[in-house]
Amino acid sequence: MTELNKTQPEFKVKKSMGMRTIRVIAYIVLVFLSLLCLIWFYLLFINATRSHAEISSRVSFVPGKHLLDNWKKLQNSTLDFVRGIINSAIIAFSSSFLSVYFSMMTAFAIHAYRFKGRKAVHVFILAIMMIPTQVTSLGFYRLVVDTLGMKDNFLPLIVPSIAAPVTYFYILQYMKSNLPMSLIEAARIDGCMEIRILNRIVLPLMKPALAVQLIFAFVSSWNNYYMPAMILSSGNKRTLPILIYTLRAATEKDKDLGFQYVAMSLSVLPVIVVYVFFAKSIVGGVSVGGVKE
């Protein structure tokens, strides 16, 4: 017994040292992966401050002195990037908020109500996830242009975002684990209307999931080139990805990488701002437990 009592503290010390070593290694790996992901953004912003000759000569981690020159070149170009940012912001913010809110409504209906054909509706929505956008783009284009006459309009890029099967699926899974039916039933007993339950009870509990999906939807819409290139044709309605592609094509012979990097930095910066704004809600999702049944 005495020998066993002596070995127990030694075993606990070795175990704690082993766990500490594993934790240190895990932190080192995570820091390395974080730096590996962030270094490309850093180089993007650094190259926006350098001239074409400096960028072509070598890679540098030190900021240059040509940011204003590159910005002036971008302003003097025939492409209106400020208008492109406004157009992209209108489409991205509108489509992302509609996508997240209506997906939450759909998930709430599937989770909170028991009606005939409920499982069939759920399976049908999931089946839509398997259909690529490119497969339906021709029919969508003919519907928008030929039938509805909405060529060169923002609405075909905003309204269809209401139907977002991937966003619906993620929110539904989060709702199943964090939104107990007893809470909804208690609100109904108190006489609360369904729309008020959705906005006053469900929405606050779903904030972490909504924040994650809002970022995904915003980034997807902000970086979308395929559908806006099909629908939009006027110069004053082009989005930022279209303008960047046009800029690269226009300067293919006489390249000036300096103001191209400025344009790409402008396209990345709003995404970073949106992520930083909702980062607290995303981290808060780890500790959200909700009320258990």
pLDDT for 235-279, tens place per residue?
Answer: 788 898 888 888 777 655 556 778 788 888 888 888 888 777 776
pLDDT (0 to 100) of residue 265? 86
What percent of the chain has pLDDT above 90?
14
Least confident of 43-47, 90-94, 280-284: 280-284
104-132 confidence digits (pLDDT tens): 999 999 988 888 888 899 899 888 888 88
Q: Look at residue 239 and tell me if it is in a domain.
A: yes
pLDDT (0 to 100) of residue 284? 56
pLDDT (0 to 100) of residue 146? 83
Residues 6+ apart with CB under 8 A from 132: none
168-215 confidence digits (pLDDT tens): 998 998 888 888 888 888 888 888 888 899 888 888 888 888 888 888
Average pLDDT taken over every residue of the chain: 82
149-161 confidence digits (pLDDT tens): 888 889 999 998 8
Q: What CATH number is given to the structural domain containing 175?
A: 1.10.3720.10
162-192 burial: b if 16+ Cβ within 10 Å, else e: eebbbbbbbbbebbeebbbeebbeebeeeee
Segment 2-26 mean pLDDT = 65
pLDDT (0 to 100) of residue 5? 52
Q: Is 214 helix (H, G, I), strand (E, B) or coil?
A: helix
Q: Look at residue 51 and tell me if it is in a domain.
A: no
**Which residue range forms the structural domain that includes residue 206?**
70-287
pLDDT (0 to 100) of residue 105? 93
Q: Look at residue 9 and tell me if it is in a domain.
A: no
Q: Is 152 helix (H, G, I), strand (E, B) or coil?
A: coil
Q: Look at residue 59 and tell me if it is in a domain.
A: no
Q: Look at residue 155 and tell me if it is in a domain.
A: yes
Backbone angles phi, psi at 239, to 5 degrees: -90, 175
What percent of the chain has pLDDT above 70?
86
Q: Look at residue 28 and tell me if it is in a domain.
A: no
Question: Into how many domains does the chain fold?
Answer: 1
- Alpha-helical runs (H) found in 179-256: 181-189, 194-197, 203-205, 207-222, 226-231, 240-250
**Other CB atoms within 10 Å distance of the CB of residue 13:** 10
Q: Look at residue 42 and tell me if it is in a domain.
A: no
Q: Look at residue 137 and tell me if it is in a domain.
A: yes
Contact 132, 225 (CB under 8 A): no
